[in-house]
Amino acid sequence: MDYLALILLGIIVILGIVLTLGIEDTSHYEYRNTVGVWFRSLATFHPNVRAITSAPFLYQLHAAAAWAIFIVWPFSRLVHAWSYPLWYLWRPYIVIRSRVADRPHEPGTSGRRWRKIGVPY
The answer to whether residue 2 scores a pLDDT higher than 60 is: yes
pLDDT in tens, 48-102: 999 889 888 999 999 999 999 999 999 998 888 887 777 777 878 777 777 776 6
Cβ-based neighbours of 37, under 8 Å, separated by 6 or more: 48, 51
The Cα 119–Cα 121 span in angstroms is: 6
| Highest mean pLDDT out of 21-25, 29-33, 34-38 | 34-38
